[in-house]
A = this chain, B = another copy of it.
Amino acid sequence: MRTPEVQQRIESRLLSALRQAGLRLTLQRRAICRFLAQSEDHPTAQDIYRALKPQYPSLSLATVYNTLDALVRLGAVHRLGEAGDDAAHYDADISPHINLACIRCHRVVDFPLPDVARLEDVVRQASGYRILGARMVYYGLCPECQQALNQEAQPTAAASE
């Protein structure tokens, strides 16, 4: 559960990014930023659209894509492509943290990341990049999928229980 303080901080950061880029803070953009700040998982454009449509009946899917695109271009939001489903997922938490991506069930869960400040400095100086955000991705099998794979391999032993 993301604490209200964290939500508030993320929402403010997203709105600031839009404002500083000279973009207008429309009702729709505010709603999308608020939703991104609140959601713990990594929603797709469709997820956001479906969640906000009831409260904002005029909302268009194109607007969701436009806003997400603007936020990604500003570096305020990350676009994730590890999920096996074809839709892009978005993450408003751009602080260095680990994403654990299961290659079987395609879930992507967060994991706190120990200090990487030094690493970031090394990369910044050697590459010349202006670094806006970071993300460590480990690909693997989550505990549930490891168990499921074991049961698939020996189905009789488990079934005779």
Task: Using CB atoms and an 8 Å cutoff, list the residues of chain A in contact with chain B.
Answer: 72-75, 78-84, 88, 94, 98, 100, 102-104, 109, 111, 114, 119-120, 122-123, 126-143, 146
29 A-B interface contacts by CB (under 8 A): A73-B103, A73-B104, A74-B103, A75-B103, A75-B140, A78-B137, A79-B84, A81-B83, A98-B123, A100-B123, A103-B132, A109-B127, A111-B123, A111-B126, A111-B127, A114-B119, A119-B136, A120-B138, A127-B143, A128-B143, A129-B141, A129-B143, A130-B140, A131-B139, A131-B140, A132-B139, A133-B139, A136-B136, A137-B137
Give, as a whole number of angstroms, the nearest-CB distance from A102 to chain B. Answer: 8
In the complex, what residues of B have CB within 8 A of residue A80's CB? Answer: 81
Chain A interface, >50% SS class: mixed
Given that A73-B104, A104-B73, A122-B114 are contacting pairs, would A137 and B140 also be in contact in the complex, using a CB cutoff of 8 Å?
no
A136 to B103, CA, bound (A): 17
CB <8 Å contact, A84 and B103:
no
Residue of B nearest to A104 (CB): B73
In the complex, what residues of B have CB within 8 A of residue A135's CB? Answer: 136-139
A137 to B135, CA, bound (A): 5
Residue from A83, A130, A132 having most chain B Cβ neighbours under 10 A: A130
A159 to B47, CA, bound (A): 46
In the complex, what residues of B have CB within 8 A of residue A74's CB? Answer: 103
Given that A88-B81, A114-B122 are contacting pairs, would A75 and B143 also be in contact in the complex, using a CB cutoff of 8 Å?
no
